[in-house]
Chain A
Amino acid sequence: MRVGIVCPYSFDVPGGVQFHVRDLARYLLAAGHHASVLAPADDNTELPDYLVSCGRAVPVRYNGSVARLTFGPVTAARVSRWLSDGNFDVVHLHEPVTPSASLLALWAAEGPIVATFHTANLRSRAMQAAYPMLRPSLEKIGGRIAVSEEARRTVTTHLGGDAVVIPNGVDVAAFASATVDPRYAGTPDRPTVAFLGRIDEPRKGLHVLSRGFEEVLRARPGARLLIAGPGSVEQARERMTPSVAAASEFLGLISDADKARLFASVDAYAAPQTGGESFGIVLVEAMAGGAPVVASDLPAFVRVLQPAPGGEVAGVLFPNEDGANLGRCLVALLDDPARRADLRTAGHRRAASFDWSRVAKDIVAVYDTVTNTGGW
């Protein structure tokens, strides 16, 4: 099958949608399909074979955070050319309701279209304003996928109709095979807690964690906070109390291999995100890598950690934005090696349901369904 995938966000910057698109393309290629990805990228970055750049991304404020997107007539022309050169059996758009190459491709594409909705926080006002213009294009989507129940609810509320839920995939084996790294491993006196995410993006919740870490330092003065993610380190330090700032180690943007080693090594992984998370793939990665997870009780996170209401929780949940509570949860976890071991086991088990082999099979089933025009 010839599949054309459009990613609205720049591949120069890491992000959940980008990783999802990259892994999907790799899986399709490995399974013998043809896959081409259209995404914004800087001209001077090294691009993988399957990636076609639709121009340089510009940072714009959209839907509550800064995204790097491309649009305008030049991009539109590149999108059309990619579509006609590609001769695709199915075009798979990600986040079609963003001012981006995805929307332009939706506009221009003919033939079977699949769209994946990642976000759970579409701004309804913006949607309503642009709706009459968007609607005829959105009707062209033959198969809608939502990555979570939250994202699906957003689709049904704002666009009507329904979507099937297929979660984001994780390469579980790659994370599970990572080894403990002495740089990140904690000792009884100096336990380690990891945070991943952009450090200057308030909804990633670093401020909640730094409040909670004051409690941790009170109980364990030697504790280390390992912070991985892009953003201004000076500003982040300024927002912390001196003791937390001193205990924090900023790792910057880390490689996938380092990320896996980080999860395999730390005593706890904290996910203090305050909102706007649709799925929380990083939670699944942490579980696959073997890090005990402490996460805010966002609906998306609850669903990842606790598949059945009232059932086993593969992590620790704390009330959203309650830094003090997060701190107490972390202290309790650091004091209890048996609990950490239990969480590692439960996490491995839970992560298996998000493995790419399983997720990609479901996505290919969607392709089959929308490309099947009867007869066989």
Chain B
Amino acid sequence: METVTWVVVAVAVLLAAAWYLSYSAARLDRLHAQVEGSLSALDAHLVRRAEAALELANAGALDPASALLLASAASDALERTTDRLGDDDLLEGQHFGGRESVESDLTQSLALALTPDIVADIVARDGLAADALDRLEAASRRVQLARRFHNNAVKDVQRVRGKTVVRVFRLAGHADLPQTVEFDDELPVLSAVAGPPS
């Protein structure tokens, strides 16, 4: 009788432990998927931002020097994107491949090229450039959102992966620990489409 009770207790404990392990693994898996999703969203919006910037540079609304500055920053950003999607990306899309500086450069070039006067001029003329400006604003806003949401997801993964059960049982497998993405994503000052009041 004694032995039977012990066996039952032991089996119950084992089952509970097994359930907890598989639950933790599933939770971690979901978090990893979320990080990958948010990173690819960030990537997509960055590409859109760079394309809109390139289009704006070529729309003839800027002076040649500003246009060149913007075009070169935008094409740098676009080039880095294709780099990262290559076969030698060993981190399976879980990191940002050192693109931070390129994206910060684009943000700063936008701030330099798009002074309030020039923006007002583009909006007033309402042509190809105004169209590109609209898309640039939308993409820049979404880049801001995507980066914040991605960093939230990364922090969740980092926290869960710090838990003892995850470390001891190696529930994360060989997946790299994702890192937050930090770069300057301030919106350019677009008078016509100012961000929400804060």
Contacts and interface: CB of A to CB of B under 8 A. Distances in A.
Interface of A: 136, 139-140, 142-144, 149, 160-167, 307, 353-354, 358-359, 362, 365-366, 368-370, 372-376
A143 B156 CA distance: 13
8 A-B pairs with least C-beta separation: A374-B40, A161-B152, A372-B41, A353-B197, A369-B145, A139-B156, A369-B146, A143-B149
A376 B156 CA distance: 27
B196 A373 contact: no
Contact of B44 (A142, A161, A362, A374): A374
A167 B152 contact: no
A354 B153 CA distance: 29
A166 B197 CA distance: 8
A365 B141 contact: yes
Nearest to A358: B196
A372 B38 CA distance: 8
B141 A376 contact: no
B164 to A, nearest CB: 14
Interface residues on B, range: 20 to 34
A163 B149 CA distance: 8
A354 B152 contact: no
Contacts of B153: 142
In this complex, the member of A139, A160, A370 whose beta carbon has the largest number of chain B beta carbons within 10 angstroms is A139
Contacts of B27: 136, 139
Interface stretch (B8-16, B29-37, B60-68, B72-80): B29-37
A362 B40 contact: no
Contacts of B149: 142-144, 369-370
Given A160-B159, A162-B151, A165-B198, 16 more contacts: A136-B27, A139-B31, A140-B30, A143-B145, A164-B148, A165-B196, A353-B197, A369-B41, A369-B142, A369-B146, A369-B149, A370-B41, A373-B41, A374-B40, A375-B40, A375-B44
Contacts of A166: 196
Given A142-B34, A142-B37, A362 B141 contact: yes
Nearest to B149: A143
A248 to B, nearest CB: 34
B49 interface: no
Contacts of B146: 369, 372
Nearest to B48: A376
Contacts of A149: 198
Nearest to A166: B196
A307 B198 contact: yes
B144 interface: yes
Interface string B149-184: 101110110011000000000000000000000000
20 contacts: A139-B160, A140-B30, A142-B34, A142-B38, A142-B149, A142-B153, A160-B155, A164-B148, A166-B196, A362-B141, A365-B141, A366-B145, A369-B41, A369-B45, A369-B142, A369-B149, A370-B149, A373-B40, A374-B43, A375-B40
A236 B198 CA distance: 36
A314 to B, nearest CB: 11
B196 A359 contact: yes
A325 B67 CA distance: 57
Nearest to B138: A365
Given A144-B152, A161-B152, A375-B44, A365 B145 contact: yes
Contacts of B197: 167, 307, 353-354
A371 B57 CA distance: 29
A372 B40 contact: yes
Nearest to A141: B152
Given A167-B196, A372-B45, A161 B40 contact: no
B196 A162 contact: no
Contacts of A368: 142
Nearest to A373: B37
A165 B148 CA distance: 11
Contacts of B196: 165-167, 353, 358-359, 362
B32 to A, nearest CB: 11
Contact of B148 (A162, A358, A359, A375): A162
B144 A164 contact: yes
